[in-house]
Structure 1
Amino acid sequence: MPAGWDDFRFVKAVAEGGGLAAAASALGIDHSTAFRRLAAIEAGLDAPLFERRRTGYVPTQAGAAMVEAAERIEADVTRFSRALAGQADTLSGELRVTAPAGFASGLMMPILAGFSARHPAIRLDLILAEEALNLSRRDADVALRASRGPDETLVGRRLTGIAWAVYGLAGGTYGDLAREPWIGVAESVAGGLFARFVRARAEPDRVRVRLNAVTGLRAAVAAGLGIAPLPCFEADSDAGLRRLTDPEPDLSADLWILTHPDLRRAARVRAFMDHVAAAIRPLRPAFEGRR
Structure 2
Amino acid sequence: MTDLDWNDIRIFLALYRGGTVRRAGEELVMSHSTVSRHLTELETSLGAVLFTRSRDGLLPTNMAKQILAKAEQVEANVLDLQRSAVSLDSTLTGKIRVTCPPLLSQMMLMPIIADFTRSYPGVDIEVTSSYSFEDLMRGRVDVALRVQSAPDENLVGRRLPDFTEYVYASPEYIEQHWFEGEETNAEWLGFGGGAEWTKSSPFPRAKLRHEIGELIALGQAAAAGMGMAIQPCYYADQQEGLERVPGTGPVAKRPLWALTHPDLRNSARIKTFMRFLVDEILKQAPRITGTPV
The aligned residue for residue 198 of structure 1 is: 198
Residues 34 and 255 of structure 1: is their aligned pair in 2 closer, same or farther, counting only changes over 3 Å?
Answer: closer
1:137 equivalent in structure 2: 138
Distance (Å, rounded) in 1 between the aligned partners of 2:221 and 2:43: 53
Q: CA deviation at 1:215?
A: 4.0
What are the ranges of 5 or more consecutive residues in structure 1 without an aligned counterpart? none
Alignment of 1:1-291 (within 5 A): 1-2=1-2, 4-5=4-5, 6-20=7-21, 23=24, 26=28, 28-29=30-31, 31=33, 38-171=39-172, 172-173=174-175, 174-176=177-179, 178-187=184-193, 196-201=196-201, 206-244=207-245, 245-248=247-250, 251-291=252-292
1:135 is paired with a residue of what secondary structure? helix
Counterpart CA distance in 2 for 1:27 and 1:282 is: 36
TM-score between both structures, scaled by the size of structure 1: 0.84
Three-state SS of the structure 2 residue aligned to 1:83 is helix
Measured against aligned partners, the alpha-carbon deviations of 1:115-146 in whole angstroms (never above 9, x if no partner) come to: 01100100001112244452121221111222
Q: Distance in 2 between matches of 1:164 and 1:19?
A: 37
Q: C-alpha displacement at 1:74, in angstroms? A: 1.2
Q: Per-residue CA shift, 1:78-121, capped at 9, x if unaligned?
A: 11111211121111100011111112233111111110110010
Give structure 2 stretches of 5+ with no counterpart.
none
Cα offset for 1:37?
5.0
What amino acid sits opposite 1:175 in the alignment? W
Equivalenced residues, count: 283
Sequence identity, in percent? 33
In 2, are the aligned partners of 1:133 and 1:140 still within 8 Å (CA)? no
- Equivalent position amino acid for 1:78 in 2: L
- RMSD of Structure 2 on Structure 1 (CA): 2.7
Post-superposition Cα deviations, 1:215-270, rounded to whole Å, max 9, x if no partner, equal 4322221122211111122222334211114432x521122211111111111111
Larger CA deviation: 199-208 vs 135-144 = 199-208
| Native 8 Å contact 2:90 2:268 kept in 1 | yes
**CA–CA separation in structure 2 for the residues paired with 1:149 and 1:21:** 31
What is the alpha-carbon distance in structure 1 between the residues aligned to residue 243 and residue 216 of structure 2? 18
Structure 1's 164 and 247: CA in aligned 2 closer, same or farther, altered over 3 A? farther
